[in-house]
Structure 1
Amino acid sequence: MLVAEDLSLERGGRQLFTGLSFAVRPQQVILVEGANGAGKTSLIRILAGLSRYGFEGRVARHGPMLYLGHHSAVKALLTPRENLAWHVSGESQYTDDEIEAALSRVGLHGYEDVLSHTLSAGQHRRVNLARLYLSRSPLWLLDEPFTAIDVSGVAELQSLFAAHVKQGGAVVLTSHQALNIDHQVSRLDLSAGVLP
């Protein structure tokens, strides 16, 4: 699904990681680990093709992917339904029934048609995460998906990740929370620069 070869990144005169090579295969969960400032978000953005300069190495992606960044990509003047009706990745357009089902899965039933600026930070995050229930992409690149999500929401997401990889998908994510999913998790430690 994705191959990274000899990735190196320097920021502000400090080497964040160097010589990083790994492959993402179907049915794989990779947790990117490292201290704050280690380059986890930068790596996810590089893998997603959002950072074209400032790093060395090569990334080859095979097939579609879904990227969800650390910040919610929710437009405040649109409703959750409108935010999900069209995804900026151009992945797909979704039916009203699909959108309502996705919003219901993330606990936003009844909020489909309110303006998003009236929602809490956690609800904004849930609107963004509803994209996972709509996605048909096999590869998910997720930066801190559990931010501002309560315990039950975290458990629901982890179940979704497990189901996605069991169906042949793959997930690469950053998180400061431990993963507790019914699937083996590979850890990519940026401080070590290896994927066991």
Structure 2
Amino acid sequence: MGIAVSDLAVARGGIKVLEGVCFALEPGQALVLRGPNGIGKTTLLRTVAGLQPPVSGRVEMAVDNHVYAGHADGLKATLSVEENLSFWAHVFGNKDVSDALSAFQLTSLADRPAGALSAGQKRRLGLARLLVTGRPLWLLDEPTVSLDSDAVAMFAEVIRAHLSRGGAALMATHIDLGIKEASTLDLAPFRAKAPEPDDFDGVFL
């Protein structure tokens, strides 16, 4: 099962930012969320991931089938690249990290402390965690931040491989990854109406 979102409204700081959002994502599909900064892409992803409650609407997906990757890479600086991946693999009940190291060209850096990596290498390591989770649905917030063009192409290939295995991906990104399987959802039509100046209660909903 993928994910189905119906009539979803989300809020940031107590203010509704998006409403009426609807989409469905099946295995093998990817959806890219588009919109200007501040429109609510991160808030929507966090709500879908269950990290904050919706204002209204429904998110339907199987329990424990998704993994969320936000702006932070989620790394322990004193652990090596391989140790960081092994930790996350263990959390999700897995052991082998060799495919994740290879997919993001981290094999030669396996013994290097994460704190000694460049920003782009840290991002690649953070994204490599996706491959050790075993989860089919990836929720990704600006996953290509700090990546150069070669690393972006590397990431796009990982997404294609994930989709070919029946996985799915919901991504907020401004980068055109060139993935033909990916559809686009413009969030502008779902921007919530601002509360009226005299709607004192509405401001705090």
2:156 aligned with 1:158, yes or no? yes
Distance of 1:119 and 1:175 partners within structure 2: 23
Q: Is the 8 A contact 2:156 2:177 kept in 1?
A: yes
Return the offset for 1:191.
0.8
1:188 corresponding residue in structure 2: 185
State which structure, 1 or 2, has the greater radius of gyration over its C-alpha atoms.
2
Distance of 1:87 and 1:131 partners within structure 2: 7
The secondary structure found in structure 1 opposite 2:100 is helix
Letter in 2 for 1:92: G
Letter in 2 for 1:62: A
Number of equivalenced pairs: 189
Q: Is the 8 A contact 2:92 2:132 kept in 1?
A: no
Q: Is the 8 A contact 1:100 1:112 kept in 2?
A: no
Q: How does 1:67-78 map to 2 (within 5 A)?
A: 67-78=68-79
Letter in 1 for 2:76: K
Q: Is the 8 A contact 2:86 2:95 kept in 1?
A: yes
TM-score if structure 1 supplies the norm length? 0.86
Return the offset for 1:170.
0.9
Return the offset for 1:40.
0.6
Q: Is the 8 A contact 1:86 1:92 kept in 2?
A: no
2:60 corresponding residue in structure 1: 60
The secondary structure found in structure 2 opposite 1:73 is coil
Residue ranges of structure 2 left out of the alignment (5+ in a row):
192-205
The secondary structure found in structure 2 opposite 1:173 is strand
Distance of 2:30 and 2:90 partners within structure 1: 22
2:125 aligned with 1:127, yes or no? yes
Q: Is the 8 A contact 1:66 1:89 kept in 2?
A: no
Distance of 1:89 and 1:31 partners within structure 2: 30
CA deviation vs aligned residue, 1:43-78 (integer Å, no higher than 9, x gap): 1111111113x6322212125112211221111122
The secondary structure found in structure 2 opposite 1:87 is helix
Return the offset for 1:129.
1.3
Letter in 2 for 1:154: V
The secondary structure found in structure 1 opposite 2:147 is coil
Q: Is the 8 A contact 2:10 2:56 kept in 1?
A: yes
Which range is displaced more, 32-41 or 12-21? 12-21
RMSD value over aligned CA atoms? 2.2
The 1:87–1:111 alpha-carbon spacing in structure 2 relative to 1, beyond 3 Å, is same
Q: How does 1:33-48 map to 2 (within 5 A)?
A: 33-48=34-49
Q: Is the 8 A contact 1:33 1:187 kept in 2?
A: yes
Which range is displaced more, 3-12 or 40-49? 3-12
2:171 corresponding residue in structure 1: 173
The 1:11–1:67 alpha-carbon spacing in structure 2 relative to 1, beyond 3 Å, is closer
2:86 aligned with 1:85, yes or no? yes
2:200 corresponding residue in structure 1: none
Residue ranges of structure 1 left out of the alignment (5+ in a row):
none
Q: Percent identity?
A: 38
The 1:159–1:104 alpha-carbon spacing in structure 2 relative to 1, beyond 3 Å, is closer
1:5 corresponding residue in structure 2: 6
The secondary structure found in structure 2 opposite 1:51 is coil
CA deviation vs aligned residue, 1:94-122 (integer Å, no higher than 9, x gap): 23xxx234223212222212221111111
The secondary structure found in structure 1 opposite 2:110 is coil
The 1:106–1:17 alpha-carbon spacing in structure 2 relative to 1, beyond 3 Å, is same
2:144 aligned with 1:146, yes or no? yes
